[in-house]
């Protein structure tokens, strides 16, 4: 099948883009690997009118809205993406679909150590804007850059910076201490700056250019979501590691508007 737009990634950015494009009466396929970055978190925050909602519930509602306007969503794995004479071919697990334009909203992966994985998104997290209020005035431990300590002190005066995290102690399914260089540090929550890896392998294979960020190289886009590859767009954490959910959704909508204009042949330069 041929679609006007294939969106790879069904998180906030991808679904937001799909909603705008389906309402613009474009034929849209969203391919979702069903591995949202924020799945471990019970709640998401800073999303106006939806603060505290389960991130999975947001995606459930978003999917229903997109499908209500005629968009197609499949849970599948992308095996390859290639440029063709008239667009792009996207190889899925059992078929190949074609698109005039592509939007990558594939996100990133937090490279969390095994010792922390069971607590990730609960009382171990990386974003104090997302989770800090829920642990306000508690004993907080920070692993990562020194500047983050000053940031975390906005939520508590009891903040300890540690040089490593070797293990954690848990009692009654609650973090009680962090082990750092053999020392036990009491903690109600751990702010852990995990390395991140964008899911950008297909973008790079298409030739998308990257730029260096504080968290490593990420695919470069302009303010409209355009990559360096004509017809290929990106939005959300795959291109912006700092984008929280509401920002990723906005980026998806912004890219969708530009894709629609692009399909009309009215794309502004630059």
Structure tokens at 8: 């790879």
Q: Is 152 helix (H, G, I), strand (E, B) or coil?
A: helix
Q: What is the largest CA-CA distance in the chain?
A: 63
pLDDT in tens, 206-265: 999 999 998 899 999 999 999 999 999 999 999 999 999 999 999 999 999 999 999 999
* Residue 18 near residue 8 (C-beta atoms within 8 A): no
Residue 75, judged by CB atoms within 10 A of its CB (0-12, 13-18, 19+), counts as exposed
pLDDT in tens, 215-229: 899 999 999 999 999
pLDDT in tens, 97-144: 999 999 999 999 999 999 999 999 999 999 999 999 999 999 999 998
106: closest CA among 206, 35, 187?
Answer: 35
The domains of the chain, with CATH numbers, are 2-109+195-263 (3.50.50.60), 112-192 (3.50.50.60)
Q: Is 130 helix (H, G, I), strand (E, B) or coil?
A: helix
CA neighbours closer than 13 Å in the CB half-sphere of residue 65: 17
């Amino acid at each position: 099948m041929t679609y006007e737009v294939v969106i790879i990634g069904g998180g906030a950015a991808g679904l937001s883009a799909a909603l705008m494009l389906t309402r613009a009466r474009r034929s849209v396929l969203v391919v979702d690997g069903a591995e949202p970055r924020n799945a471990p978190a019970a709640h998401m925050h800073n999303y106006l009118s939806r603060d505290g909602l389960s991130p999975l519930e947001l995606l459930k509602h978003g999917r229903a809205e997109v499908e209500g306007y005629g968009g197609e969503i499949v849970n599948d794995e992308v095996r390859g993406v290639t440029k063709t004479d008239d667009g792009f071919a996207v190889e899925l697990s059992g078929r190949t679909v074609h698109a005039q334009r592509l939007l990558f909203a594939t996100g990133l992966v937090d490279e969390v150590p095994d010792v922390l994985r069971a607590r990730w998104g609960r009382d171990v997290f990386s974003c104090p804007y997302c989770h800090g209020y829920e642990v306000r005035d508690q004993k907080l431990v920070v692993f990562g850059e020194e500047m983050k300590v000053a940031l975390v002190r906005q939520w508590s005066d009891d903040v300890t910076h540690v040089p490593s995290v070797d293990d954690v102690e848990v009692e009654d399914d609650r973090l009680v201490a962090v082990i750092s260089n053999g020392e036990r540090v009491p903690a109600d929550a751990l702010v852990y700056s995990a390395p991140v890896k964008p899911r950008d392998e297909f973008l790079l294979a298409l030739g998308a250019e990257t730029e260096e960020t504080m968290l490593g190289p990420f695919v470069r886009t302009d303010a409209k979501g355009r990559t360096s590859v004509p017809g290929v767009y990106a939005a959300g954490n795959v291109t912006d590691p700092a984008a929280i959910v509401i920002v990723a959704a906005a980026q998806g909508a912004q890219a969708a508007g530009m894709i629609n204009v692009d399909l009309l042949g009215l794309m502004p330069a630059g």
